[in-house]
Amino acid sequence: MRRIACLAAVTVIGVTLAAASYEAQSDRHPIRPLELTDNLYVLTSDPAEQGMRTGGNTAVFLTVDGVVLVDTKIKGYGADILAQVRQITDMPVTTIINTHTHWDHSGSNPEFPDTVNIVTHENTAANMASTDCDDGAGFEGGSIKNCEQFQGDNARFLPDTTYSTQHTLFSGADRIDLYYFGRGHTDGDTFVVFKDARTVHTGDMMARKGLPFIDAANSNGSATEFGATLQGAADGIPDVDTVITGHADDPHVWQDLVDYAGFYNDLLMQAHEGRAAGRSAAEIIAGYKLPDRYADFAAPAGRLQQIVPLLLEGR
C-alpha cells in the first residue's frame, strides 16, 4: 500500500519537475545518501568521482509536518534529490534552507513547488534577487550567473523567510536554529543547527578540510573577516557533535570545525606578520608553513594565491 502511494507521488511530482526543469544535465553524477539519525540524512556525491559532481551536500530533515532540505545542489538535480527523499518518506518537501546564494547550493530551488518556504539570511536573499551576479569564474569552465534563474516569473522562488543574526524554525524534536556570524565565503552564510541531532550544516564556511574559496568579487565575501566569522561559530554554537560540510563526502566532528578556525586564523596571522616585515604577497605565499597540528588541512597554492592578496588589501 505504502509502495503504491509512493510511486504515484513520484510520478505526479516527476512530471512537474520535468516541465519546470531546465535542460537535462548532460553530465549526470550519482547522489550518495547517508543516514545520520532516524530523521536526518545527507545527500553527498560519489567519493570515487572527482570535482563538483552533484554540487554541495544536501541535508534532508524529517519534521512532523514535512521535509526540510538544506541546499539543493546544481540546477537540474531537483528530481534526483526528490527521488532520494522518496526512499526515506512520502511526506512533501515543505521548507528549503539555502546556506548561501551559490549555484551549487541553490541551483535546483525552482524545481520544487513554489509553495515551499525558502529560508535564507537576508544578504543571501538580496544576492539571489540581484540582476547582476556571477558565482565566480573558473568553476567548470567559466562563470555561472545563478541569480538569473530567480528573475521574471521565477522571482516566486526567491526566499520567503529571511533573518539577520539568529532564527529558530519549529520546536521540540523538529527544532532548527539558524546562525549568522558575519561575512566569510559570501556575505550571507548560514550555519544550520539540527538541535536534537546535535548536528550543524556549515555550507561553504567549511566546504572541506582546506582553505576556502572567498567570493569577494561577486557575493561580498571577505577573506579578512572569514576567520572571525568561523571563530564566532566555534564559540557561539552550543551542543554540536556532527558537522555536515559544504562539500566533503563524509561528515566531520565538531573539533574539526574548531580546528578549521584555528587553521585559517593561523594563515591570517602569517599574512599579517609578513606584511609587518615588509614582505610581498608572493613572498608570504612562498614562506607559508602549515602548522603540524593542522596537518590534515589542505593549503593548495591556488587558494593561497587568492586569499593572501585579499588579506593584505583588507578585503
Q: What are the residues binding Zn ion (CB under 5 A)?
A: 102, 204
The nearer residue to Zn ion, 174 or 204, going by C-beta atoms, is 204
Contact 111, 79 (CB under 8 A): yes
For residue 136, the minimal CB distance to Zn ion (Å) is 8
Residue 249 grid coordinates: 563526502
The nearer residue to Zn ion, 203 or 274, going by C-beta atoms, is 203
Q: Is 244 helix (H, G, I), strand (E, B) or coil?
A: strand
For residue 31, the minimal CB distance to Zn ion (Å) is 19
Contact 300, 267 (CB under 8 A): no
The nearer residue to Zn ion, 134 or 204, going by C-beta atoms, is 204
Q: Which of 209, 172, 205 is nearest to 190 (CA)?
A: 205
Strand pairing report for 58-62 and 67-70: antiparallel
The nearer residue to Zn ion, 62 or 178, going by C-beta atoms, is 178
DSSP 75-100: TT-HHHHHHHHHHH-SSPEEEEE-SS
Contacts of 55 (CB under 8 A, 6+ apart): 45, 71, 73, 74, 77, 103, 104, 105, 107
The nearer residue to Zn ion, 243 or 281, going by C-beta atoms, is 243
What HEC string does 22-70 produce? CCCCCCCCCEEEEEEECCEEEEEECCCCCCCCCCCCEEEEECCCCEEEE
For residue 285, the minimal CB distance to Zn ion (Å) is 23
The nearer residue to Zn ion, 189 or 259, going by C-beta atoms, is 189
For residue 214, the minimal CB distance to Zn ion (Å) is 10
For residue 74, the minimal CB distance to Zn ion (Å) is 12
